[in-house]
Amino acid sequence: MIKIALYGKGGIGKSTTAANLSMALSEMGYRVMQVGCDPKADSTGALCGGQKITTVLDAIREKGDAVALSDIAAVGDGGVICIEAGGPTPGVGCAGRGIITAFEKMEKLGAFQVYQPDVVIYDVLGDVVCGGFAMPIRNGYARNVFVVTSGEKMAIYAAGNIAIAVDNFKARGYARLRGVILNSRNVDQELARVEKFADDIESKIVSVIPRDGLVQEAEALGKTVVAAFPESALADTYREMAKNILKECEE
């Protein structure tokens, strides 16, 4: 099982990247599970017709110990298994602790044993890499970490913090930073900025995703670009990204 975590600053396009990665891998014949680890619970929307699915934490609040795997997992486009950790009741509780609770419930219900995915993708908010938000790179949940960033200052700053966190966990044998995904925002000298950042953290860019209106058009249809516009150049970019990511995970 290949375990991948995508980290990035909120609003950087991480979930769009994750969903298109899942769809591209599914096209390649892999059985894929995508786990959203953002309290907004919007990671898998493009795989599920634009609809939000019941989160693990919502299911626990509703059913307690009676929660079944079928309550928290949905089958999206391409047969991708979709799970959203969810977040605490607004104003009450800790989002990071909520992720830990969700992961514990997934383990108890045997999610990986039942669905037997070839690839698991964790889509994780990376503004603050502490507590529950570091959960995917702890205890063997995700061995391979990719950072999604643009050339914007705050996106690179957040990506740098993620790289530091991964480096700390690498010493314990948990996870490795495998590469950087540039989700372009067309800022001045963007590629050069991200190339320098990747060099500074002793990593490399594994994919450059151009800014393209097809992303918004696909989202309006409740789809990924790969599913909605399969013949487009952008869909091919996501497919190439998927191949590059698999290659990095094999090394």
Task: Parse the chain into domains and list their residue ranges.
Answer: 2-250
pLDDT at 127 over 80: no
What pLDDT shows up at residue 94? 64
**Distance in angstroms between the alpha carbons of the first and the last residue of the chain:** 15
pLDDT tier at 96 (50, 70, 90 boundaries)?
A: low
Which tops the pLDDT comparison, 97 or 168? 168
**What are 239-251's pLDDT values in tens digits?**
999 999 999 998 7
Q: Please, which pLDDT band fits residue 128 given cuts at 50, 70 and 90?
A: low
Ranking 55-64, 79-88, 135-144 by mean pLDDT, the lowest is 135-144
pLDDT beyond 80 at 138: no
pLDDT at 39 over 90: no
Cα 100 from Cα 133, distance rounded (Å): 8
Residue 50, judged by CB atoms within 10 A of its CB (0-12, 13-18, 19+), counts as middle
Structure tokens at 84: 């959203």
Nearest to 162 by CA among 150, 145, 138: 145
Domain 2-250 bears CATH identifier 3.40.50.300: yes
Tell me, rounded to whole angstroms, the distance of Cα 38 from its chain centroid.
9
pLDDT in tens, 155-207: 999 999 888 888 877 767 678 899 999 999 999 999 999 999 999 999 999 99
- Residue 88 has a pLDDT of 66
Which positions are annotated as active-site residues? 9, 14, 40, 127
- Residues 2/249, Cβ–Cβ less than 8 Å: yes
Q: Which pLDDT score, from 0 to 100, does residue 167 have?
A: 83
- What is the per-residue pLDDT for 41? 83
